[in-house]
Amino acid sequence: MKRRVMVVLVLLVAGLAVFAGKVLATPATGGYSSTTLANATFAPMDLLAHVRAGQLTSPSPWALFLLTYGQSDVYVQSNQWPVGSSTGWHTHPGPSLIILKKGSVLTEWEWDRGTCSKHVYDATNGDLGFIDSGGPDHAHVLINDGPNVASTYAVQLIPHGSTRRIDATPAPANCGPSS
């Protein structure tokens, strides 16, 4: 009898955990879609590029340093937000370089190391770039509050074999439109 009660309790707790995970997860809403245009695995990178003032066409100094340990997966994503749609709260295990296409407006709520902030990206007058840092202490949601369909291209760099998008469960408390 005790064993039967224990089995029922274990099944009940497991069922509640699955249910809670589905309730607390914040999936995309309103028709948001993301399509992988290309992806590849790169060997470890140790890159240094620089331009001094007056070299080539650059009027001022510029430098890039990129160092990775181990292989990286690089994704090129195309994302579409119908008016009112949302990505849902999520993170990525690495950074994303994002190009918001002309005519698009997106609102980002960002939770980073316990701090909540709001950013409005407005590409009404031309393409606009921004960065999502990603990482374990970061989550964000992007919402199309604008009057038009919003679209982006994103280049994502993540550790080889990692999941590209990780839903934030539960969503950060006291941050964003639902707080």
Domain assignment of residue 15, yes or no: yes
- Name beta bridge partners: 118: 109
Structural domain includes residue 173: no
Instruction: Give me the DSSP letters along 95-132.
Output: -EEEEEPTT-EEEEEEEETTEEEEEEEE-TTS-EEEEE
Query: Which position has the token pair 């999941």?
Result: 163
Residue 179: inside a domain: no
**Residue 135 lies inside a defined structural domain of this protein:** yes
pLDDT in tens, 25-57: 468 888 999 999 999 999 999 999 887 666 666
- Give pLDDT tens digits for 139-153: 999 999 888 999 999
Helix spans in the chain (H):
2-24
Predicted pLDDT of residue 12 = 35
Average pLDDT, the chain: 84
By C-alpha distance, which of 116, 101, 99, 104 is closest to 156? 99
- CATH number of residue 16's parent domain: 2.60.120.10
Number of separate domains in the chain: 1
The whole domain housing 62 covers: 2-167
Q: Please indicate, yes or no, if residue 60 is contained in any of the structural domains.
A: yes
Residue 87 lies in a domain: yes
Residue 124 CA to residue 101 CA, distance in Å, equals: 9
Identify whether 116 is part of a domain.
yes
Q: How many Cα neighbours within 13 Å face the side chain of 67? A: 1
pTM of the complete model: 0.79
Query: Euclidean distance between the first and final Cα of the chain, in Å?
Result: 46
CA 115 to chain centre: 17
d(CA 66, CA 169): 31
121 within domain boundaries: yes
Per-residue model confidence as pLDDT tens digits over 6-32: 433 333 333 333 333 333 446 888 899
